[in-house]
Amino acid sequence: MSYFDHSQRRKDYIILLIIWLIALAIDRAWFFLDESIPFYDQSAHLTTALHHYRIFQDFNIFSGNWWLSLWQLTPSYRAPFVYICTVPFLMLFGRGFDQASLVNLLYTAIIILSVYHLGNYLFKNRKTSITASIFCLLFPVLGIMRTDYLLDYGLTAIVIATFTVLTIWKDSYTNFFSWGLTIILGIGIGLILLAKPTGFIFILVPSIWTLISFIRKRKLIKLIQTCLSLMIAWFICGFWYSLNWLTIITSALNANQVGRREGDPSFTTIAGWLYYPQMIPESVGLPILCVSIGILLVYLIKYKFSTNLISVNFQKSARIWLLVTLVSSYIICSLGTNKDIRFILPCFPIISLILADLFNLIENIYFDRLRLAALGLTLIILLNNLFPLPLIQAWGGKHLPNNDVSKYPLDKLINKITETNLYLRSTLGVIPVSTPQVNQFTLDYFGTLADFRVYGRKLTTKLSEVEQDLQYLSWYVTRDNEPEEPGERGEAKRKLKSLVESSSDLKLQGDWILPGGDKIRLYHRKNPQVVVEKLNNSNSVISLEKVTIPQQLILDKNNPVTYQITGSWDDLQNSILLLKWQNNQSSWYHDHAIGLGNLYCGIKCHPEGTFQVKEALATFIPKIPVGKYQLSALYLDTRNNKVTPLNIPDTIVNVTDVGTVEKSPALDLVTRTSQLAQELQQGKLNNIFGQIDNFNQYDPTQDYLKQIDFAANYHLQKEPNNLNLRYTLVLSQLLQRQASKLIQNLIELTKYDAQNPYTWLYLAVVYLYNFQPAQAEEKLAIAEQLKPDIPELKTLKTVTNIMKFLPLIHF
């Protein structure tokens, strides 16, 4: 049959549709029976997918800010492609685990079709192609991944699709067809890199081999197409990488250490090289593997003395192409320290083609029966892995459905929080030692399902930060009979658990029994920082009605203050209070969003009427002249940047350097960041990023950074030389990866703080982050002139020289 026999192709597509429908029936049956709680990774992925769903509620393809918000959702090596693909399924079918997993049906269709076309092109044999597609249905490892939600199955689909296009494109010379494949290839490569940064390794060696052949044979058109394809690929994924490249590298390096902690064998050992091969039998199914290898042996024996060994159904170039791809991927994956069968999942469609080719080497009725038996047995093994069918104990029970949800009342715990805080976004401090069902990721996932109203976050593992963690959250969960964890990490958790359960500031809000008899307990702060109430009156004009503060404030201390604000929901939710305590000599700010940015009741929740927000906060008095200070207040509308003066009661306080503060709430994160900015100005970085990590746990949306942007930019219009405001804004812009704005702010800083070498150093670092090594070199020279003994200078100069050299390599 010709590869272009369209009537036969239509029949094949019907067969492929049946294969896909069988996969659909098996997968949906599994999800119908399953009511489990997603584990660590699955919960993290599902939560991120839900946040992508949320941002697509305000989809605006022409908005640069919308695209920036989209790319910022995935700052680590967990790239956004799979999450974006999931969004339509969440919109159409709902926001649960089962609904998100429907995207796997799309990936299954891509894998089956790609393997079919790749097999047809390489072997010109529809039987081999369809057999390979059936293998992709039957392989236990692919069946297990279809009934899960991880990045690897989506990566597998886009890798095999792109590899198929690459295989056909490298030999295509028809102008229109070849240029069309060039565009598709570029899109595919871009999507691979947007699915997982390490995904390129599965097509790296065949791509290099193809490029070398073009150069050796002087195929100029193909080289031009290669450049075009790479340009398209960069257009697809470049915005995400240019924004997140540094965090991608650091998070990938951290993830690579997981293998060492888990005891995965190193590539320096034989066990490291045998790790993946020894998992192949159970991954593809022993019947298929044995029959394929057995037929190969019979085939070799049959043609042992034949000079036609190559010519008799032995597509040499096709097999070499597939083997080179498979072996190179295996070698690169084995070099990694973190090993898991899913990390080589994109190899299995290639394995399916290789085994399908061997499976069909000999044609006769006896081997047909053997093949049919192998397929039947592998189907049984697949079903035995997915369903409680105790047929083959050694090969079963890998991924069974269960009903964890009814046993673990995590939804009830989250509902308790949302019922208590009807109009507030809440952060739940998770103290238990992580278990698959109860950990910060699963609680975060259930909180996200509750219309994004609760965020679960792991608390500190450092003893020195336990007291701070106890101050900053209003909700904590603990668990009985936690397993002992050694070292400072375990000691910090035990101490924090003890403090939470004995604190007079917290009360037990509810407890639930877990399987095994343990309890999880939910604690709530008796006097939370923010309380929101709906009022009966109809006056919706925003007003700072009341300020409660001691008449005498102490310098260099946190002093308690309570603000009471009323207004309409939308006005309160989209606002920054610009508060300034001042006299003729000096002043200090206490800017923050109303409700600290936590006013929230759901994606589409915009209640009518008037609301009252009470904030029990602390204000820090810097080292300013003692005396009387009066409060002035402005309301900044974040929707339009409009600033309106607020009429407030006369509030005058006396600032003194004598006395003590008995008790005060925790400082808001805007003020805390302003304090860290002083360390940034002095080049003291050791403490800053550790504290920022904590801040981002306390405020999972990082809304405090946006508050800093609005407040600092407003004040700098009138006080452009206010160094503390500028350095605070530097921190905010840095953490939001706003490179262009950060450069402009640092350039302004070099005017007002020109003798500070660290200002020039920071500017150089941002230029390097933005791939501008020439500009960075100039700033490093100035920093070195001001202070030549800065330890980081040598490293930064080396990085600058490397980055200057990269364009030459590229050329």
Judge if 445 and 559 occupy the same domain: no
Q: Of the ranges 105-109, 364-368, 411-415, 535-539, which one carries the lowest mean pLDDT score?
A: 535-539
- Residues with Cβ within 8 Å of 92's Cβ and at least 6 positions away in sequence, in order, are none
Q: Which amino acid is at 334?
A: S
Residue 520, in any domain of the structure:
yes
Judge if 513 and 543 occupy the same domain: no
Q: Which amino acid is at 141?
A: V
Residue 399, in any domain of the structure:
no
Q: pLDDT-derived band of residue 391, with 50, 70 and 90 as boundaries?
A: low
Residues paired with residue 10 on neighbouring β-strands, in sequence order: none
DSSP for 268-324 reads TSHHHHHTTGGGHHHHH-HHHHHHHHHHHHHHHHHTTT-TTTTTTT--HHHHHHHHH
Higher pLDDT, 339 or 315: 339
Judge if 492 and 571 occupy the same domain: no
| Crossing angle of the two packed helices 348-359 and 316-335, in degrees rounded to 10 | 140
| Residue the block writes with tokens 């604000």 | 565
Examine the fold and report which residue of 386, 417, 442 is the final residue of a domain before the chain moves on.
386
Residue 401, in any domain of the structure:
no
Residues paired with residue 309 on neighbouring β-strands, in sequence order: none
pLDDT of residue 202: 97
What single-letter DSSP state applies at residue 342? G
Which structure tokens are listed for 349?
């469609």
Q: Residue 655 pLDDT more than 80?
A: yes
Residue 398, in any domain of the structure:
no
Q: Name the most confidently modeled range: 19-28, 74-83, 270-279.
A: 19-28
Where is 29: in which H helix or E strand?
A: helix 6-33
Judge if 75 and 151 occupy the same domain: yes
What single-letter DSSP state applies at residue 617? E
Q: Of the ranges 221-235, 293-307, 523-537, 777-791, which one carries the lowest mean pLDDT score?
A: 293-307
Q: Residue 312 pLDDT more than 50?
A: no
Mean pLDDT of 376-396: 82
Judge if 79 and 117 occupy the same domain: yes
pLDDT of residue 310: 46
Nearest to 592 by CA among 566, 563, 621: 563
Residue 723, in any domain of the structure:
yes
Judge if 621 and 679 occupy the same domain: no
Judge if 417 and 377 occupy the same domain: no
Q: Give the whole-angstrom CA distance, residue 35 versus residue 403.
A: 4
Residue 694, in any domain of the structure:
yes
Q: Residue 729 pLDDT more than 60?
A: yes
Q: Return the SS3 of 109.
A: helix
Q: pLDDT-derived band of residue 1, with 50, 70 and 90 as boundaries?
A: very low
Judge if 727 and 698 occupy the same domain: yes
Residue 380 CA: distances (Å) to CA of 111, 286, 396, 399? 22, 11, 10, 14
Average pLDDT, the chain: 92
Q: Where are the alpha helices (DSSP H) in 336-486?
A: 348-359, 365-386, 404-407, 410-420, 440-449, 466-472
Q: pLDDT-derived band of residue 395, with 50, 70 and 90 as boundaries?
A: low
Judge if 639 and 776 occupy the same domain: no
pLDDT of residue 662: 83
Residues paired with residue 654 on neighbouring β-strands, in sequence order: 552, 628
Judge if 487 and 534 occupy the same domain: no
Q: Where are the alpha helices (DSSP H) in 61-139?
A: 64-72, 81-93, 97-100, 103-123, 126-138
Judge if 716 and 626 occupy the same domain: no
Residue 163, phi then psi, degrees to nearest 5: -65, -35
pLDDT of residue 140: 96
Task: List for the chain the helix, strand, coil content (%; round to 5).
Answer: 60, 15, 30
Mean pLDDT of 681-706: 94
pLDDT of residue 297: 92
Q: Of the ranges 96-105, 179-188, 426-435, 517-526, which one carries the lowest mean pLDDT score?
A: 426-435
What single-letter DSSP state applies at residue 424? B
Examine the fold and report which residue of 457, 490, 525 is the final residue of a domain before the chain moves on.
525
Which structure tokens are listed for 667?
């400082």
Nearest to 109 by CA among 160, 148, 50, 52: 160
Q: pLDDT-derived band of residue 311, with 50, 70 and 90 as boundaries?
A: very low
Number of domains forming the structure of the chain: 4
Examine the fold and report which residue of 502, 525, 548 is the final residue of a domain before the chain moves on.
525
Mean pLDDT of 362-387: 93
Mean pLDDT of 53-64: 93
- CA within 13 Å, CB half, 466: 19
Cα dihedral 459, 465, 466, 470, rounded to 10, equals: -80
pLDDT of residue 503: 94
pLDDT of residue 806: 60
Domain CATH number, residue 549: 2.60.40.770
- Maximal C-alpha separation, the chain: 105
Q: Give the whole-angstrom CA distance, residue 638 versus residue 604.
A: 18
Q: Give the whole-angstrom CA distance, residue 170 versus residue 118.
A: 13
User: Could you tell me if 341 and 268 are in contact, meaning their C-beta atoms sit under 8 angstroms apart?
Assistant: no
Which range marks the domain in which residue 418 is found? 408-525
Measured in whole angstroms, the distance separating CA 298 from the mean position of its chain's CA atoms is 49
Residue 663, in any domain of the structure:
no
Number of Cβ within 10 Å of residue 72's Cβ equals: 16
Nearest to 646 by CA among 545, 512, 529: 545
Which structure tokens are listed for 272?
């490291």
Residue 318, in any domain of the structure:
yes
Judge if 273 and 211 occupy the same domain: yes
